[in-house]
Amino acid sequence: MSEITMRVWRGDANGGDFENYTTERSDGEVVLDVIHRIQATEAPDLACRWNCKAGKCGSCAVEVNGKPRLMCMTRIDTLPEGPVTLTPMKTFPIIRDLVTDVSFNYVQAKKVPALLPPPMPAEGYRMFQEDVERSQEFRKCIECFMCQDVCHVIRDHEENKENYAGPRFFIRHAELEMHPLDTNDRRDFVREEAGLGMCNITKCCTEVCPEHIKITDNAIIPLKERVVDAHYDPVAWLGRKILRKTKTSATDAAVQPAP
């Protein structure tokens, strides 16, 4: 059995510092195993979030050696030799140690206009696999918020948070926009309220996604194209003005009672 040193940021909103913990390690362990051992022995008050320990719930995201990772899916033997540095996600305010205040994401979730489907036939809706697959990709999201953490629009600019939904919610908007049952037109909302224009497609979000969702290519870029079509193509604009029968506008969508 060998040893491992973890350099863990400890503190709260008033400040803090790194503390080193050296502990034994065994084969196949992940970062979260070592944190649990530290909690069980030296530091029972070391704060971190976790739930499933299987990469399914997205609770245990922190920055491992400066990069956002799920602690439960990061094997120690895949990291470079030497101490492992753990810090809380930078984009969100600190609560304590490795735990951050991710309420920004829950505020953004509230702003999303709900799905507005047509009435359900008695025997249920008919949808085809090829039509549901696009949105299914986005529904794999486990809400670890690592894409939000790494997005420099909000990571480096606190002032943008007010008007920017971030990659997690761009895929949510894309999911609904491409949902076979949705009758809302979300394009105005995405442009005006969600700040899609601020994203300059550096793909940082796609790189960190533990579910390997192609956030930039499959959600953000298609959304940007739909917004462009809607607003800068005069024929499409006119068509929309005359024939806005199939889709409800974003403003109406927000107040439509969902079933």
Positions that interact with other proteins (CB under 8 A): 12, 26-30, 33, 39-41, 43-59, 73, 75, 95-97, 99, 101-102, 106, 109-110, 112, 114-115, 117, 120, 124-129, 132, 135-136, 139-143, 176, 179, 181, 258-259
Minimum distance from residue 239 beta carbon to other proteins (Å): 27
In the complex with other proteins, which residue's Cβ is closer, 186 or 243? 186
Minimum distance from residue 16 beta carbon to other proteins (Å): 13
In the complex with other proteins, which residue's Cβ is closer, 125 or 237? 125
In the complex with other proteins, which residue's Cβ is closer, 127 or 201? 127
Nearest partner of 131 among 179, 170, 172, judged by Cα: 179
In the complex with other proteins, which residue's Cβ is closer, 42 or 158? 42
CB distance 73 to 30 below 8 Å: yes
Minimum distance from residue 42 beta carbon to other proteins (Å): 10
Strands 2-12 and 15-25, by their bridges, are: antiparallel
Nearest-angstrom CA–CA distance, 73 and 106: 24
In the complex with other proteins, which residue's Cβ is closer, 13 or 201? 13
Give 97: exposed, middle or buried? Use CB within 10 Å, 0-12, 13-18, 19+.
buried
Nearest partner of 98 among 48, 144, 143, judged by Cα: 48
CB distance 79 to 30 below 8 Å: no
Strands 2-12 and 84-87, by their bridges, are: parallel
In the complex with other proteins, which residue's Cβ is closer, 120 or 201? 120
Give 128: exposed, middle or buried? Use CB within 10 Å, 0-12, 13-18, 19+.
exposed
**CA angle at 144 for the pair 228 and 117, rounded to the nearest 5°:** 50
Minimum distance from residue 228 beta carbon to other proteins (Å): 26
Minimum distance from residue 14 beta carbon to other proteins (Å): 11
Nearest-angstrom CA–CA distance, 23 and 125: 55
Minimum distance from residue 253 beta carbon to other proteins (Å): 11
H/E segment holding residue 8: strand 2-12
In the complex with other proteins, which residue's Cβ is closer, 202 or 251? 251
CA 156, chain centre distance (Å): 17
Question: Can you name the residues that pair with 86 across neighbouring β-strands?
Answer: 8, 64
Minimum distance from residue 232 beta carbon to other proteins (Å): 30
